[in-house]
């Protein structure tokens, strides 16, 4: 086997496994997803553009079918300005073989305009008032990640005869935006 074949074989491994795995009803996957994301606060957001990639640990909130991430700044914003496609992962810190619990997400991310109605609603959810925002030394920028797909990993799914990897489509946005900058509207 040459190196290219090895890459390809490794790339399709889980696709083959998932084909034979028992699927959970979508409502049950959604419930497990919401429960998991609602009890965790840290994610890793992966962004990339032509010249670099970033994987950044960030605090998030999960509501209205989106991830909401406040951040002072960083190179992730340069990548998002060029490429709205993101990956995001949330996982249990106790990540032992056979005891895996995590959510992987693909979607689009972008800035919510500073102090827009959407921004202020997200700020309110974490207790940030306009008064508190005004006192900060620098503005907090808000990234909204709109998931297009999820992979929910939970070893406990086996207890009910299901595969440990369950797939779920994200909510499709009804907004029409420039595809290279999807998710950047308020």
Q: What is the pLDDT of residues 160-183, one digit of tens each?
A: 999 999 999 986 443 323 333 333
pLDDT at residue 7, rounded to an integer: 93
- What values do phi and psi take at 68, rounded to 5? -125, 120
| Strand ranges for the chain from DSSP E | 42-48, 53-59, 61-63, 66-71, 85-91, 101-112, 141-154, 165-169
**Which stretch of 39-43, 65-69, 93-97, 125-129 has the lowest confidence by average pLDDT?**
93-97
Backbone angles phi, psi at 16, to 5 degrees: -65, -45
Structural domains present in the chain: 33-171 (2.30.110.10)
| Out of 13-17, 103-107, 148-152, least confident range | 13-17
Do 93 and 161 contact (CB within 8 A), yes or no?
A: no
36-48 mean pLDDT: 97
Answer whether 166's CB lies under 8 Å from 29's CB. Answer: yes
Which position has the token pair 């056979």?
98
What percent of the chain lies above the pLDDT cut of 70? 91
Please report, rounded to a whole number, the percentage of residues in the chain having pLDDT higher than 90: 82
Q: Which residue has the higher pLDDT, 98 or 107?
A: 107
pLDDT over threshold 70, residue 147: yes
pLDDT mean over 4-29: 92
Q: Given a cut of 60, is residue 186 above it in pLDDT?
A: no
């Amino acid at each position: 086997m040459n190196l290219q074949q090895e890459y390809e074989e490794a790339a399709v491994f889980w696709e083959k496994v998932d084909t034979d795995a028992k699927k959970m009803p979508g409502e049950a996957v959604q419930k497990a997803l919401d429960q998991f994301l609602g009890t965790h606060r840290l994610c890793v957001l992966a962004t990339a553009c032509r010249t670099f990639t970033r994987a950044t640990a960030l605090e998030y909130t999960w509501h209205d079918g989106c991830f909401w991430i406040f951040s002072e700044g960083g190179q992730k914003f340069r990548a998002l300005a060029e490429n709205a496609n993101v990956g995001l992962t949330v996982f249990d810190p106790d990540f032992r073989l056979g005891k895996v619990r995590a959510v992987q997400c693909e979607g689009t991310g972008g800035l919510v305009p500073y102090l827009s109605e959407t921004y202020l609603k997200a700020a309110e959810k974490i207790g940030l008032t306009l008064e508190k925002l005004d006192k900060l030394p620098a503005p907090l920028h808000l990234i909204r990640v709109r998931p297009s797909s999820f992979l929910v990993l939970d070893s406990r799914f086996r207890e009910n005869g299901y595969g440990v990897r369950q797939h779920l489509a994200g909510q499709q946005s009804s907004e029409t935006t420039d595809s290279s900058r999807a998710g950047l509207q308020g």
